[in-house]
Amino acid sequence: MKIIKRDGSEMEFDRGKIEAAIEKANASVEAADRLTTEQIMHIAQQVEAYCEGMNRALSVEEIQDQVENHLMALNAFRLARCYITYRYTRALVRKANTTDKQILSLIECNNEEVKQENANKNPTVNSVQRDYMAGEVSKDITRRILLPRDIVDAHEAGLIHFHDADYFAQHMHNCDLVNLEDMLQNGTVISGTKIERPHSFSTACNIATQIIAQVASNQYGGQSISLTHLAPFVQVSRDKIRQDILTGLQETGESVSEESLNYLVERRLREEIRRGVQTIQYQVVTLMTTNGQAPFVTVFMYLNEARNEQEKKDLAMIIEETLLQRYEGVKNEEGVWVTPAFPKLIYVLEEDNIHEDSPYYELTKLAAKCTARRMVPDYISEKVMLANKVDKNGQGHCYTCMGCRSFLTPYLDEDGKPKYYGRFNQGVVTVNLVDIGLSAKGDMDAFWQIFDERMELCHRALQCRHERLTGTLSDAAPILWQYGALARLKKGETIDRFLHGGYSTLSLGYAGLWECVYSLIGKKLTEPQGKELGLAIMRKLNEYTAKWKVAEVIDYSLYGTPLESTTYKFAKCLQKRFGIVPGVTDKSYITNSYHVHVTEPIDAFDKLALEAEFQALSPGGAISYVEVPNMQQNLDAVLSVMKFIYDNIMYAELNTKSDYCQVCGFDGEIAIEEQDGKLIWKCPHCGNTDQSKMNVARRTCGYIGTQYWNQGRTQEIKERVLHL
């Protein structure tokens, strides 16, 4: 059984340390107030039994709380006072410097909390450690100086989560839609070097990867690019290749028919598209940004975004090559093809590709094949999105999210034209809905009162995010603000005008709707009463964002938070505050956003239909999924799910497994088992448990993770039931 020390590292539980601590306090009181050796041993045994019953690693503070409770229960008040005083004195000593031990534990790679905070960061790599070290300092400054005390306290207690506090000291925003079209067509500047409009498709792809890396190093969230912005360069290359061939024929005195010429041109063009897409695939996977991970980038594939039929055909060729290369995967260090985490792919389902007689249906079949093997692409329904994302003129729009799920709200520029590329999200604060539900103790009036209080707390925290960006100079990130990724501001100009009027968004996140509803009325979201209450809570959340938006002319938006490490943090905080509540706090995780609980048996189509109603009420972003077995031999079923997505839900994905054991060559699902009170990954073929000698890819919370997860998220992954 493990415990979590104050520096975040793990160690074996030692009952003797509890006995020793009580004995020290025992020796400092009068003989009449002392406990017997047997009583001290009994307390230690009871605390040990409590820890074992929690089925997770408890923190030192939680264990000490249990000791205090048992001392008080024995009426050993003076002894308890000495014990509490000792704890308080030690806490003061620790506060003298809040970061040293945490940083040292990061360097030595024994901080379990941080090691598995991000499923796509390898904590043993110097660049990751450097980022984490800087993050610890930033979080310390944020806690002590930059945020109001009540917001810090609420964050640490798990009432809310102030996301990305490790970047808050800098003037950085969350995620964005890169205006790749502007940068490629009008040129940009990278590291002080002028980059002009590319003269071929392959060069455009190379420049795009450099832009992706630069953008990733200047903000902390995900970014998205559209393949449509690369499509015009297919024609540039086509014209260039044709001219090269004609020149060669003239030099040799040869001649070919127009048909043969076209064949030669298209053949060479296909090869250039292959090289260009390969550049994006391999550069994104192998590039290491300043935060020690590959760029978190999403690639958008939307045929109807093309401006004419020829461009649509060229775009289709790029999409096809992108899917083919992702289906193949990338080679690991053993030379075996495995599933990469990035780039994340999004494929838009539309009339031109969704039906058997649609002109691009073969492309959709290829997407299904790729999903069955590599978990991507994910799917946006043009049909549903046009109905959900309607601007003030009543027109619907279809566009990509920023990163894994954060969506912008419809926006018209000063000329009345829709604008999405070049926009961004300022940041996120998430409310723990489960805590509100449990705090209300089944009283709905109390629930709405506490709800109001927490909304005000979240609002002020979001205002802090906005104020932190206010006054930021374009010089802070030239690639973003001066050279086209987001804007073309002058040096010394502030970004303030992009923070108001709906150009960018502030996200009110929410977590644990399932457990919240169950804690209040004992009903699930899959039951009529539970669904009704869940939708009412969602509508209330939207009322608040709408009210703040009108009052401040800032686009607050409701966001289905992708809990990664936070799911474990919230679960631990809830257990500490409320104990084990069956169906609510009896897991080491809570449910993402509005999702149906991972253990709930439900059909894939019923799940998507139900969650579509909640997703429509989460305009700032959300994604639904269905968990499926190996579908590589059942692509018809995958296509059936995709067609259902097209008709019923805006944004969804299929989760499968894609693992490989480097010890024995097993290519299947690596299992999760419990060992000494901790969940570990184990090859079912050879028993290998060395994470460095296996490749595991799982959908974490909208994107694929490949560097493993904390115990809460690992339990959630283990308990997922199949929906198909």
Residue spans of beta strands (DSSP E) within 608-670: 624-627, 651-655, 658-661
| Distance of alpha carbon 355 from alpha carbon 364, whole angstroms | 9
Q: Which of 272, 564, 611, 716 is labelled catalytic?
A: 564
Q: Is 175 a catalytic residue?
A: yes
Q: Is 393 a catalytic residue?
A: no
What number of CA atoms fall less than 13 Å from residue 270's CA on the CB side? 8
Phi and psi dihedrals of 226, rounded to 5?
A: -110, 135
Phi and psi dihedrals of 431, rounded to 5?
A: -95, 135
Q: Is 406 a catalytic residue?
A: yes
Burial grade of 335 (CB within 10 A; 0-12, 13-18, 19 or more): exposed
Is residue 125 within 8 Å of residue 718, measured between CB atoms? no
Q: Which of 54, 317, 385, 404 is labelled catalytic?
A: 404
Structure tokens belonging to residue 134 = 């800087």
| Distance of alpha carbon 503 from alpha carbon 554, whole angstroms | 8
- Length of the chain in residues, anyone? 724
Q: Is 404 a catalytic residue?
A: yes
Contacts of 629 (CB under 8 A, 6+ apart): 656, 722, 724
Nearest Cα neighbor of 219 from 402, 75, 407 is: 402
Is residue 18 within 8 Å of residue 44, measured between CB atoms? yes
Q: Which of 54, 82, 175, 401 is labelled catalytic?
A: 175
| Distance of alpha carbon 693 from alpha carbon 599, whole angstroms | 29
| Distance of alpha carbon 473 from alpha carbon 481, whole angstroms | 9
| Distance of alpha carbon 647 from alpha carbon 135, whole angstroms | 43
Cα–Cα–Cα angle for 202, 207, 211, rounded to 5 degrees:
145
Find the helix or strand (DSSP H, E) in which 505 lies. Answer: strand 505-511
Q: Which of 385, 402, 631, 642 is labelled catalytic?
A: 402
Structure tokens belonging to residue 597 = 């609980």
Q: Which of 379, 559, 568, 703 is labelled catalytic?
A: 559
Contacts of 538 (CB under 8 A, 6+ apart): 513, 558, 594, 614, 617, 618
Q: Which of 111, 179, 226, 425 is labelled catalytic?
A: 425
Q: Which of 9, 353, 388, 406 is labelled catalytic?
A: 406
Q: Is 260 a catalytic residue?
A: no
Locus of tokens 């998430």: 430
Radius of gyration of the chain, Cα coordinates, nearest whole angstrom: 27
Q: What is the 3-state secondary structure (H, E, C) of 407-460?
A: CCCCCECCCCCECCCCCEEEEEEEEEHHHHHHHHCCCHHHHHHHHHHHHHHHHH
- Active-site residue list: 174-175, 402, 404, 406, 425, 559, 564, 702
